[in-house]
Amino acid sequence: MRPVWKGMLSFGLVNVPVTLYKATRSKTISFNQLRKSDFSRIQYKRVAGDGAEVPASEIVKGYKLSEDRYVVISDTDLESIAPKASRQIEISDFVKLDEIDNRYYDSSYYLVPDQGAGKAYALLLQGMTEANVVGIAKFVLRNKEYLAAIRPADNIITLSTMLFADEIVSAKELENDLPSNVDLSEKELNMAKTLIDSLITSFDPSKYQNEYHKQVMAMIETKAGNEMTVSTPVDTSPYFADLMSALEASMAAIKKTEAKKKSTRKPKSKSA
């Protein structure tokens, strides 16, 4: 795997040489646009408001102030205020894991110790694990400054880039779209709690598959082999007229499934 960044992870006076690797792989499927008649690839030209094509050398960056007013920003302007490239991730604070709202987490990476840094790395990893804390740091990656959360997971130190506070949309902005003054009967609430309790299990991420991605890839492979199959998905989701009906039907379905599982289990053989 190709490293993304190399440098020093530090807390207090302890420095740990580390390498940063991406912890995720994108599963996005992208398509090119083609001309239907001969499948030649569509290309785009940069044109101005008058329709004239503009060469790359004539294009500048502009920040829109109003419909016909822009502030022109040059590459030199941006370079003058760009964060200085750094090979340091310095943990400034440790906070309790449950104090961080999950909305702040963005992209995930692994921090791997460089040669000779094993002991210091293990010290930080175990220390954070036992204290159940997350390290908060800032660092520069590809000329951009990031806020980051350093935390242990599966015997490795992970780094999650984080959104800044002003990037989080407050729930108050949507309060007019949220239900208010809703009367819930005790029967409805108890039924909902029972349903929720019956569905509680341990989280197993491998249990959840990207079915759409698999179907698209299967279709592509089939069409690439000059074979075409069309399947019509069947909507099996029931429609319920009211909340109680939905809760009761969900409970009945779960009980039916559990009863079916019990009936299909083989009885244990009796020992002679």
pTM: 0.65
pLDDT of residue 246: 67
> Does pLDDT of 268 surpass 50?
yes
Tell me the pLDDT tens digit for each residue of 190-227.
Answer: 888 888 888 888 877 777 677 777 777 777 777 777 65
Reported as a single tens digit per residue, the pLDDT across 146-191 is 999 999 999 999 999 999 998 898 888 888 887 888 888 888 888 8
Tell me, what's the pLDDT at 231?
Answer: 46
Mean pLDDT of the region 228-236: 45
**What is the pLDDT averaged over residues 121-144?**
91
Q: Is the pLDDT of residue 67 over 50?
A: yes
Q: What is the mean pLDDT of residues 27-48?
A: 88
| More confident of the two residues 91 and 207 | 91
The residues spanned by each domain of the chain are 5-25+82-167, 185-201+243-261
The mean pLDDT value of the chain amounts to 83
Convert 23-81 into a string of H (helix), E (strand) and C (coil). CCCCCCCCCCCECCCCCCECCCCCECCCCCECCHHHCCEEEEEECCEEEEECHHHHHHH
- Res 122: pLDDT: 92
| pLDDT of amino acid 241 | 47
Most confident of 38-42, 79-83, 108-112, 237-241: 108-112
CA distances, 150 to each of 23, 84, 237 (Å): 13, 21, 41
pLDDT for 234 equals 42
How far is residue 146's CA from residue 143's CA, in Å, rounded to a whole number? 10
Q: How confident is the model at residue 232 (pLDDT cuts 50, 70, 90)?
A: very low
The most confident of 10-19, 110-119, 166-175, by mean pLDDT: 110-119
For residue 7 the two structure tokens come to 């440098």
Q: Where are the beta strands (DSSP E) in the chain?
A: 5-11, 14-22, 61-66, 69-73, 88-96, 105-113, 133-141, 144-153, 156-162
Model confidence at 239: pLDDT above 80: no
Q: Which residue has the higher pLDDT, 200 or 122?
A: 122
Higher local confidence (pLDDT), 82 or 21: 21
Query: Which CATH number applies to 5-25+82-167?
Result: 2.40.290.10
| C-beta neighbour count of 114 within 10 angstroms | 14
Residue 70 contacts by C-beta under 8 Å, 6 or more apart in sequence? 62, 63, 64
Q: How many residues does the chain have?
A: 272
pLDDT, tens only, 240-257: 446 667 667 777 877 887
pLDDT band at 107 (very low <50, low <70, confident <90, very high): very high
